[in-house]
């Protein structure tokens, strides 16, 4: 996913101000008490920890939707846990809930044209069993 987000580069800031290897928004970073974006961009270890923490939080938020949706097909795409977590990174867990619960009718698209549906497909079938759902994940 890092390659899709930033070509795997830790110091990238895109035209919308999203930061680092995984293209974090400032408000998401603040959720993990990261306020110094310059230091964040210079710290690969912190970026990796932030990514894992966000995945844990998203997995907790989406736990019921993951349970209900795994293995189903939406618009010809098999729903997997890794696809759901990737889509949540793109659009936020709330938009993924809307997408899944609407059977694909509510499809978010970011400013660059990436959609929940495209992330569900592109990042389908990866092993994310090491990510434990954790509402209070910290870095």
In a domain, 25, yes or no: yes
Asked if the structure places residue 118 within a domain, the reply is no
Q: What is the mean pLDDT of residues 81-87?
A: 98
Strand segments (E) across 31-136: 73-74, 77-78
What total of structural domains would you count in the chain?
Answer: 1
Q: Is residue 57 part of a domain?
A: no
Domain that holds residue 39: 2-43
In a domain? residue 60: no
Predicted local distance difference test score (pLDDT) of residue 1 = 83
Is the pLDDT at 4 greater than 90, yes or no?
no
Query: Per residue in 20-73, pLDDT tens?
Result: 999 999 999 999 999 999 999 999 999 999 999 999 999 999 999 999 999 999
Asked whether residue 31 is domain-assigned, the answer is yes
Report if residue 139 sits inside a domain: no
Flag whether pLDDT at 3 surpasses 90: no
Q: pTM score, two decimals?
A: 0.92
Phi, psi (deg, nearest 5) at residue 66: -60, -50
């Amino acid at each position: 996913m890092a390659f899709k987000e930033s070509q795997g580069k830790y110091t990238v800031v895109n035209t919308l101000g999203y930061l680092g290897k995984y293209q974090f928004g400032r408000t998401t970073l603040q959720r993990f008490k990261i306020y110094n974006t310059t230091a964040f961009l210079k710290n690969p270890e912190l970026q990796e920890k932030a990514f894992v923490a966000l995945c844990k939080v998203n997995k907790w938020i989406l736990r019921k939707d993951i349970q209900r949706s795994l293995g189903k097909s939406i618009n010809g795409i098999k729903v997997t846990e890794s696809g759901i977590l990737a889509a949540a990174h793109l659009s936020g867990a709330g938009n993924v809930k809307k997408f899944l619960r609407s059977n694909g009718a509510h499809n978010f698209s970011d400013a660059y044209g990436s959609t929940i549906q495209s992330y569900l497909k592109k990042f389908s079938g990866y092993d994310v069993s090491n990510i434990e759902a954790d509402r209070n994940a910290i870095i």
